[in-house]
Amino acid sequence: MQPTGSHDELEAEVAAVARIEAAHLAHVRSARRYATGLAEEASFLSEEGPRETEAESGDEDGESAAEAATARAASARAVLAWKRVRELEAAGRALAFGRITGDDGDMYVGRMSVIDGDRVHLIDWRAAAAVPFYRATPLEPLGVAHRRHLHYTDGELTNYSDEVFDADALLTARQLRGEAALLADLARRTDGRMKSVVATIQAEQDAVIRASERGPLLVQGGPGTGKTVVALHRAAYLLYADRAALAETGVLIVGPSPEFLTYISDVLPSLGESGVVSMTVDQLHPGVRPVPDAAPERAALKGSAAMIKFLDAAVADRQRTPTT
């Protein structure tokens, strides 16, 4: 695929991406310094606190408990800070995957936000401001005149593809149109593991990922239509949009086999989310292991149409209509 614009334009994009990555690396270094400071504070409190308590014979039990609680809180803050460092480092390079141009100028969209003071280098793909990148069409441009997908080779920006929604600019634009970015991305996937599709999410997929409904969300589709990868991106979106609540309850991904969980294991870390638990069904209850049913008659029953009716009745008997 040849560059869709001039060499100078590609070089300008390379420079812009370099600025984004430099700001991100500065953020990583700052986060590491902060986490190191918290870890040192936690270590000091956990080591020195008990000694001071023992040396001061007049200390009350309540004061000792307060010091222990302070040490535990400091340790928890350090753990969270280092978790954030790991998430930032896991994002790696090639953070920016697209740019949209509208009435407010250019805005780069990527796998996480990169902000330096008052300057926004990169918008997180999950932010509301990034919605037009995924949903703009010639009929409904959503204020977008031009959308660009950035293409990388081994972490280096080597190409881009454009979609132009402005009628005047369309007459002179040299570009790859429509689904070219998606097809180019699919052609590059060869390592046998599922990758994030955050750069090429389609409008229908984006609607599922950002669905506002609470409670269970059923996604249906044929084999290979992207159900699993959309579900993973929805998990990342929910962690972004409702992090405080999910920090208390956590996120659990249940897969059919260890091989499947290995296959999808790179997706969420590449989106900056590492605090998700993955399990197979048989791991949900520790100590309980499913075994094949050796009785042929029971195996035949479980695979019969009668079993479907039985399960339907069991589900209907246990279903409850939410009251709130």
Residue 120: Cβ within 10 Å count = 15
Residues belonging to the chain:
324
Q: In Å, how far are 9, 267, 269, 270 from 232, measured between CA atoms? A: 34, 7, 11, 11
Q: Which residues of the chain have pLDDT under 50?
A: 1-3, 52-55, 57, 171-172, 174-183, 186
> What sign does the CA torsion over 190, 192, 193, 197 have?
positive
- Which pLDDT score, from 0 to 100, does residue 210 have? 92
Q: H-type helices in 117-226, by residue range?
A: 131-135, 167-170, 180-187, 203-209
Place of tokens 């659990």: 252
Q: What are phi and psi of 102, to 5 degrees?
A: -145, -155
Residue (of 130, 137, 110, 131) closest to 121 by Cα position:
110
Contacts of 49 by beta carbon, 8 Å cutoff, 6+ apart: 67, 68, 70, 71
Give yes or no for a contact between 189 and 56, defined as CB atoms under 8 angstroms apart: no
Give yes or no for a contact between 299 and 293, defined as CB atoms under 8 angstroms apart: yes
Q: Quote the CA–CA distance of 7 and 70 in Å, as a whole number.
A: 58
Residue (of 151, 159, 134) closest to 97 by Cα position:
151
- Which pLDDT score, from 0 to 100, does residue 3 have? 46
Give yes or no for a contact between 92 and 80, defined as CB atoms under 8 angstroms apart: no
Tell me the CB-side half-sphere exposure of residue 307, using CA atoms within 13 A: 8
Give yes or no for a contact between 195 and 270, defined as CB atoms under 8 angstroms apart: yes
Residue 102: Cβ within 10 Å count = 18
Q: Quote the CA–CA distance of 44 and 91 in Å, as a whole number.
A: 31
- Which pLDDT score, from 0 to 100, does residue 177 have? 42
Q: Residue type for 261, please?
A: L
Domain residue extents for the chain: 7-90
Residue (of 166, 106, 92) closest to 136 by Cα position:
166
Q: Name the 3-class secondary structure at 193.
A: coil
| Strand partners for 159 | 151
| Strand partners for 157 | 152
Place of tokens 């990758």: 195
